[in-house]
Structure 1
Amino acid sequence: MLRILGIDPGSRVTGFGVIDSDGVRSSHVVHGTLRLEGNALPPRLGEIFSRLSEVIETYRPQVMAIEQVFVAKNPQSALKLGQARGAAICAGVSQGLEVAEYTPRTIKQAVVGSGGAEKSQVQHMVRMILNLPKEPVTDAADALAVALSHAHSGITLARIGGNLRR
C-alpha cells in the first residue's frame, strides 16, 4: 500500500487529500482545505508551507502529487499560483517526499475519463471512487483527484510491484 498526498495549490485556498492505494483500489484517509487570510503573499506562502508540513507529519505520506500550473488569463494570478505550488513542494521535499506533477487535463482524464470534465464531475467521481458519504468541497476534491491520478499512474503500479502492460 502506498500513501499519497494530493495537493491542489492556491494562494487563497489550498486543497489537500491523503489516500492509501495499491494501484487498483484506493481508500480515503483525510482531506481538507487550507484557507489563507490576509493580503500579503509572503505570510500566506509561509502558512502553506507550515500547515502542509503538519499534514505530512501527521499522516506520513510516501509521495506527494501536485497539480501543475495552468496558463491563467491573468499573469499575476499565474505567478501567485506558481509561488503557492513552490511552497507546497518545499513542504514535501523538506520532509523527504518524492513529488510528482500532473496537468489538470491528465487528472480529469484519470478520474472522470474526460480531460475536459467539469469540476462538479470531478467532485462526483472522487466521491464515488473513494466511497465518501458526501461530495468534498471543490479544492479538496481536486486534491483527492490529484492523489487518485498518481495512484493509477504507471509509475505507482511499477513501484508497488504491479505489472504495467501497454
Structure 2
Amino acid sequence: MIFYLAIALFVGIVFYVISHQPGTADESDSVQGGIAQYFVQISRLQNQGHDSFFVTAMASDQTRFVQVSANKSGGAWTYQFDMPVTDWSRNYAATIQGEAEKRGLETRRVNGTVAMQFLDVDFGDRARHDTFVIWVIEDVFGLPKDETFDITWG
C-alpha cells in the first residue's frame, strides 16, 4: 500500500513540475504592455521565421481588443484586422468598416465557426495596418495612448 502511495506521489510531483514549466517564446504566450509591445510582438514573430500567426491586444477592461492575423506567401506578408461582430462590437464594427472603405481598404464580413460574424480588413503592408490599429484604439475605442493591454499570440 505504501508503495502505491509513493508511486502516486511521485507521479503527482512529476506532473506538477512539467505543467508549471515556463513556455518558450515560440509557443502561444502572453505579456502585458502598451500598443508598442503589440507591434513589437508582430515583428518578433515575423523575424522568427513564422509564415502565419495571430497577435491580439485586449484592453485592460477586458471589453475591447484588436487582433491581426498575418500570413506570408511568396515572400510577401499580408495582414488582416479581425473583429467579431457581436453585441459589444457592433457599433465599433460599423465605424471601423466605414473608415476602412474610405481609406480604400478591402473589407468583408464572414461567418465564424459559432453564431457570429467577423469583420475582416485586409492590408498589403504593415505600415497601413499599424496606423489603422492606432486609429481604432485611440479614436474608435477612445483609449488613452498609455493603455495597458494583455497581448497574446500563437
TM-score where L is the length of structure 1: 0.26
TM-score where L is the length of structure 2: 0.28
Task: Report which of the two has the higher share of helix.
Answer: 1
Larger Rg: 2
Task: Report which of the two has the higher share of strand.
Answer: 2
